[in-house]
Amino acid sequence: MTANSATSDVPTTDGIPSLRDVLAPLPLSGEMRQWDEATQALGIPALLLMENAGFAAARLLASLRPVAGARIWCLMGSGNNGGDAACLARHVKDMGASPLMVLAKPPESLAPTAAEHFAMAKACGVEHVRLADLPSEPLPDVLVDGLLGTGFSGELRPDLREIVDRVNGLAPGRFVFALDVPSGLDADRGVPCPVAVRADATVCFGAGRFGVCLPEARPYVGTVHVASIGIPAGLASTLPCSGLLLDARALRLAPAMLADGHKHAFGHVAILGGGEGMHGAALLAARGALRAGAGLVTVAAPSPAFSPSLPETMTCALRGTPMPEAWPEDPPPHLLRLLSRCRAMVAGPGMGHEAGPLLRRLLDLPHRPPAVIDADALRLLGMDRELFGRLTEDDILTPHPGEAEALLGESIKDRGACLEALVSLSRASVVLKGAGTRVGRRGSPTLLSPYDVPQLAVAGSGDVLAGCCGALLAAGLPGLHAAALGVCLHALAGKRLRQDFPARGNTASEVADTLPAVRTPPPPGDPGRLPWPN
């Protein structure tokens, strides 16, 4: 994902809100810099933005732990991040703390705005010292990391790496509070370069950061908070960023419940899968669709199995000839009649690798319902690449990394680059599954689910997700909305299961059965804290 790689969004349709109106922005470093510059161009000076940042950070710190009487070392780099730390030092002094500004470089090396805040803090009685002259005793209660901000990229220089190592050496027993991003952490990729400050809490100014919200960044960022600093909200529309946070706020995308609705009003989903020996995958997808709100679900397979545990599911036998257990090459008339009644189909769970001709013909149908392509159907797509041209913007692909490799014909380890390559293949939305699932579509922002939920790493979990997305398509959501809401519901169900299965041991059926319990959206407004601890 590159800065400004996504400047459009799915428009509001039939009362369904835009993704950008619901989900919090996750700008890349370059995009955040553009917001800062555009804000200043409106006449809001950098000095005021830094004042707002320092004050907001001081208030947040005071809400996280006692400040009065605390010894607080504010570690300052020479850039604007150091100015934020100087401003914070001035405010915590007024709260009764004993702050000390610790400069990594001489004061004359400070950037202009940072130098002004350093001078104000000095004038208010805040003491300062060079890092090289820092006394070994007494140690602080709080370490504020204002060494490097989001402008950092590349590898840490040896002298900066030494400083980060020293901070981490001081950290045990002390509360570490990072400003914008822990020093040494790539704000776009969420990885240390090669080391980073390990913070207990991080405050992002203006908006969250894409890399900070990745699960792999969690050992460095701790709990993540967002503080408003006065950047006008309208800039997010005029300068849209390329990332959005796919957290519980996505529940507001759900269509309104129909008070007078009947089963047909909530949509009919066809599940194509469950070949010989793999009936369970199709039944799990059916269970996911039912629990996500579908009114009707039919499993279509050569010889579909009846499950006493899921009697609500209907079946449609597609026996091939001369082999009754094989998938037919052409869709039989009764399957075509079924699909004409369905609002969505899910193809792939337990389908096997012999259904390629049938899948091709189904995707070629002129008025077919939108499709979720999962599991074996993804591998069939990779084997018949012309099928990508049959996909529409309301279709959804749900690959895990191995299936992504089959679709692309190569392995791309970087998940951002992998998603970009996948969305370039067709007009469909793509759900790249795994810790920190990403959702994308050509010309739309990347949606990042910040969750890493071990309770979802069980056989059949992906089938449940496919069925869930199918139900949301059948409810009338556009493809990207259905994919986003499906990923959100799936992740929140896994999180809810953690209460009863902290060491795992849950089943995919239990993931599906938990879906209805997590559909209540959070109250309106920005809570200011991203969803950690997970």
User: What are the boundaries of each domain within the chain?
Assistant: 24-245, 267-517
Q: What tokens were used for 356?
A: 């390629």
Chain length of the chain: 534
Lowest mean pLDDT among 208-212, 303-307, 329-333, 347-351: 303-307
Q: Assess whether pLDDT exceeds 90 at residue 235.
A: no
- Percent of the chain past pLDDT 90, that is, above it, reads 80
Best CA proximity match to 72, nearest among 90, 60, 84: 90
In the chain, how many H helices and how many E strands? 17, 18
What CATH number was assigned to the domain covering residues 267-517?
3.40.1190.20
Indicate the pLDDT class of residue 73, thresholds 50, 70 and 90: very high
> What is the token pair recorded at 23?
């989900």
Residue 12 pLDDT greater than 70, yes or no: no
Q: What is the pLDDT of residues 506-534, one digit of tens each?
A: 999 999 999 999 998 776 654 445 554 43
Residues 6+ apart with CB under 8 A from 97: 67, 68, 69, 70, 71, 72
Q: What is the pLDDT of residues 148-194, one digit of tens each?
A: 988 888 899 998 999 999 889 987 889 999 999 999 999 999 999 99
Name the β-bridge partners of 202.
178, 224
Do 24-245 and 267-517 show the same overall fold? no
For residue 3, what pLDDT band results from cuts at 50, 70 and 90? Answer: very low
1 pLDDT band (50/70/90 cuts)?
low
Taking residues 69-81, report their average pLDDT: 96
Rounded CA gap, 159 and 188, in Å? 23
In this predicted structure, what is the pLDDT of residue 533? 40
The yes/no answer on whether domain 24-245 falls in CATH 3.50.50.60 is no
Q: In angstroms, what CA-CA distances link 509 with 167, 254, 288, 324?
A: 46, 22, 8, 29
pLDDT of residue 237: 84
Residue written as token pair 């026996």: 319
The residue ranking higher by pLDDT, 411 or 527, is: 411
How much of the chain exceeds pLDDT 70, in percent? 94
Instruction: Say if residue 294 is exposed, middle or buried (CB neighbours under 10 Å; 0-12, 13-18, 19+).
Output: buried
pLDDT of residue 459: 95
User: Of 30, 20, 31, whose CA–CA distance to 237 is shortest?
Assistant: 20
- Residue 323 pLDDT class (50, 70, 90 cuts): low
Residues 333-360 have a mean pLDDT of: 95
Please state at what angle helix 29-41 crosses helix 46-64, rounded to 10 degrees. 120
Locate all alpha helices (DSSP H) within 270-410, ordered by sequence.
279-291, 333-341, 356-364, 376-383, 401-408
The chain-wide mean pLDDT, for the chain, equals 91
Closest to 369 in 3D by CA, of 245, 272, 231 = 272
What's the rounded Cα separation, in Å, for the pair 286 and 372?
A: 13
pLDDT value of position 441: 97
Q: Note the pLDDT tens digit of each residue in 351-366.
A: 998 899 999 999 999 9
Q: How far apart are the first and last CA of the chain?
A: 25
